[in-house]
Amino acid sequence: MGNVTETTFEDRVAYARRRLATAFTVEDVFTALSRSDTDVLRVLEQDMTSRPGPAETLRERIAAWHVTMVARKVLMSTQAVTAQVMRRWAVDTLAEFLAGCTDFEPDLNGQYRIACLPGLDDGAVVFEVTTFQGYDPRRFRVQVNVGEIQ
């Protein structure tokens, strides 16, 4: 059997929201939400209304709301995206995708582990690099600066 990776609830919600962002028809929404459990769907339901409805029609109601918003082009504007939002996305992406193990690099004589350390609020991300076995830690601060281009 292969390794089973546990994901956090927040990761499952974020995954559903990312999938939903590319859904433009009811069928697309059903496909996007096909792996989402009821708890995740309830969070998405809270995004659209403050009054929860029956669980049996949860996917249908989310699909109808989402497609209506797409049709109204409510979800088709970038006006809410600011430099601060873009910075947060960049920091989150760095933290999520840079952490892990590198490929073996002959020029560097080995393979390394990269861990994201708890965040700083100044737009920087701190990573700790160790040998594959966990020895010789070194820390690197990656600064993320974002500015809108007019």
d(CA 55, CA 61): 10
Structural domain including 138 reads: 83-143
**Which comes out higher in pLDDT, residue 69 or 136?**
136
Residue 107 lies in a domain: yes
Beta bridge mates, 129: 114, 138
Please tell me whether residues 99 and 129 are part of one structural domain. Answer: yes
In a domain, 78, yes or no: no
Contact 149, 84 (CB under 8 A): no
Query: How many angstroms separate the Cα of 58 from the Cα of each of 53, 67, 118, 149?
Result: 7, 14, 36, 40
Give the domain-ending residue among 71, 93, 121: 71
Q: pLDDT at position 123, please?
A: 65
pTM flag (> 0.75): no
For residue 131, is it within any domain? yes
| Per-residue pLDDT reduced to its tens digit, 127-139 | 899 998 989 999 9
Q: How many domains are there within the chain?
A: 2
**Average pLDDT of the residues in 44-56:** 84
Task: List CB contacts of 136: < 8 A, sequence separation 6 or more.
Answer: 130
